[in-house]
Chains A and B, each alone.
Chain A
């Protein structure tokens, strides 16, 4: 052991490690005050401010996102409602159109039927009237022609109207019967 070490070792036995020398207390205090001063006065307030800002930013962001989501939701619902309404309207219109079409067709059919019947009835009446007119005209003409012809042939005037008309009528009846028979 060197003399210096012996000295120090001897001193170490005397020294109580629990009794601090004052210069070390002073330096310890200074060292801690340096750390505490910087942290308490500048650095921790700094970071607290930023942490607060961050918290606000995050909360603001969340709020914004929530607002956007609610808006999107409401818009979606509105859109859905509109869509449903439009569908409903379309269905209603389609049905209405169908109904209208059906009634229109039915009406037109009925009208057509009616017109056809009218036309047919009118045709029948016309034909009947024509036939009657023709028949009466024919009867007169044939009577006259036959009388004239018979007068010319016989050379004798058939004065007796009663007989004359009886003869003509009989003749015509025969003609009709013939016509009936040939039909």
Chain B
């Protein structure tokens, strides 16, 4: 972390345990997710460019580059790279889209879902890539953009498929058999589907990456902070935890990307279904 000049951590490399320097001076927090702009000024309302933006664009280029290398001139008998990319593509296409939406209706949404999965995964992966070491998705703007795209798609699909009344019924989960509780159920469903759901869709990814990054930073900083006198023993434990958490994060990154596209598919499926 300390090797990264763009990240302004409240992290002083001279601050150690038993030196009269408190951990509150170096501990990670919200400031760990704020970056001084590489270009422009973040204080005003003007445009600026910072490290997460750079990572986001670079991540896009990497994802496109990977698939370009694999699929630009695809062969019927695939090479190694094409085989790996095909496995990933097939996993999302068959394992996620066909499973939830179905082959006939789902085929149209395969490109979106595949793009979403690999984009989100790449953004998450930045968390453990040396020097970058920051998950872009731990900044709410990025999951929010993706959730908004899915939300707009979902709303327009529901309208197109069911018309205005049908949209209302679909969104509110209209069901006559509920009787007296129907108004209450419809109100709850309306808020849940139309207002809370896009928010939770974005925040689920954001919060996981945010928490994961905080944990990694915490153990990394703690390993350095306690590296003084008897603290070395604690430091070792913290360092091991850093490695364990890095492995765990690798797992969580893939899982969260998977969950994000699985929810996307389930929303699209809900929009296409005859009844809510």
Question: Do A46 and B60 have beta carbons less than 8 Å apart?
Answer: no
Q: State the total of A-B contacts with C-beta under 8 angstroms.
A: 137
Question: Do B71 and A32 have beta carbons less than 8 Å apart?
Answer: no
Within 8 A of A (CB), among B91-119: 110-112, 114-116, 118-119
Q: Considering the chains assembled together, what is the distance between the CA atoms of A53 and B30 in angstroms?
A: 52
Distance (Å) between the CB of B33 and the closest chain A CB?
A: 6
Distance (Å) between the CB of B44 and the closest chain A CB?
A: 11
Question: Do B140 and A4 have beta carbons less than 8 Å apart?
Answer: no
Question: Do B203 and A18 have beta carbons less than 8 Å apart?
Answer: yes
Question: Do B33 and A17 have beta carbons less than 8 Å apart?
Answer: yes
Question: Do A43 and B57 have beta carbons less than 8 Å apart?
Answer: no
| B residues in contact with A23, CB < 8 Å | 40, 47-49, 53
Q: Please classify the interface of chain A as helix (H, G, I), strand (E, B), loop, or mixed, using the class held by over half of its residues.
A: helix
Which one of B62-70, B189-197, B215-223 is at the interface?
B62-70
Q: In this complex, what residue of A is CB-closest to B37?
A: A23
Q: Considering the chains assembled together, what is the distance between the CA atoms of A35 and B115 in angstroms?
A: 6
| B residues in contact with A1, CB < 8 Å | 10, 12, 25
Q: In this complex, what residue of A is CB-closest to B123?
A: A31
Question: Do B30 and A43 have beta carbons less than 8 Å apart?
Answer: no
Which one of A6-14, A90-98, A120-128 is at the interface?
A6-14
Asked if A47 is at the interface (CB within 8 A of a chain B CB), the reply is: yes
Asked if A54 is at the interface (CB within 8 A of a chain B CB), the reply is: yes
Contact of A38 among B49, B64, B139 (CB under 8 A): B64
| A residues in contact with B116, CB < 8 Å | 32
| A residues in contact with B71, CB < 8 Å | 43-44, 46-47
Q: Considering the chains assembled together, what is the distance between the CA atoms of A74 and B258 in angstroms?
A: 53
Q: In this complex, what residue of A is CB-closest to B210?
A: A17
Q: Residues on A close to B: CB < 8 A?
A: 1, 4-5, 8-9, 11-13, 15, 17-21, 23-32, 34-36, 38-40, 42-44, 46-47, 49-51, 53-54, 57
- 5 A-B pairs with the lowest CB-CB distances in the bound complex, closest first: A20-B141, A24-B141, A40-B111, A28-B145, A12-B30
